[in-house]
Amino acid sequence: MDVRIVIRKNFMGGNLMLWDKPKCTYCEKEIKEEDVVFVKMRYPKRKGFTEIKAYLRNEGTFICEECFNSKME
Ligand SMILES: [Zn+2]
């Protein structure tokens, strides 16, 4: 099952600097702090909530708000 979640700066008490310059999959724009991004990923099986950050880094596909909105049209 694919899910989309919205990440903001203080998501789970961390911030987006966890990643080395995360980029939008479509336009390759760098994701900045406090940007709203969409992550497409496979929902992890039997993973604890605290493991999701590591899971996102490995499995997540980032989509910036602009590209996400344009794909919805
Ligand atoms: Zn984009």
User: How many domains would you assign to the chain?
Assistant: 1
70 CA to middle of ligand 1, Å? 9
Domain of residue 24: give its range: 2-72
Encode pLDDT of 34-68 as tens digits. Answer: 888 888 877 777 656 667 767 777 778 889 999 99
pTM to 2 decimals?
A: 0.55
Residue 48 gets the label, from left (phi > 0), alpha (psi -120 to 50) or beta, of beta
**Averaged over 9-35, what is the pLDDT?**
68
11 CA to middle of ligand 1, Å? 20
57 CA to middle of ligand 1, Å? 18
Report the DSSP pairing between strands 2-7 and 37-42: antiparallel
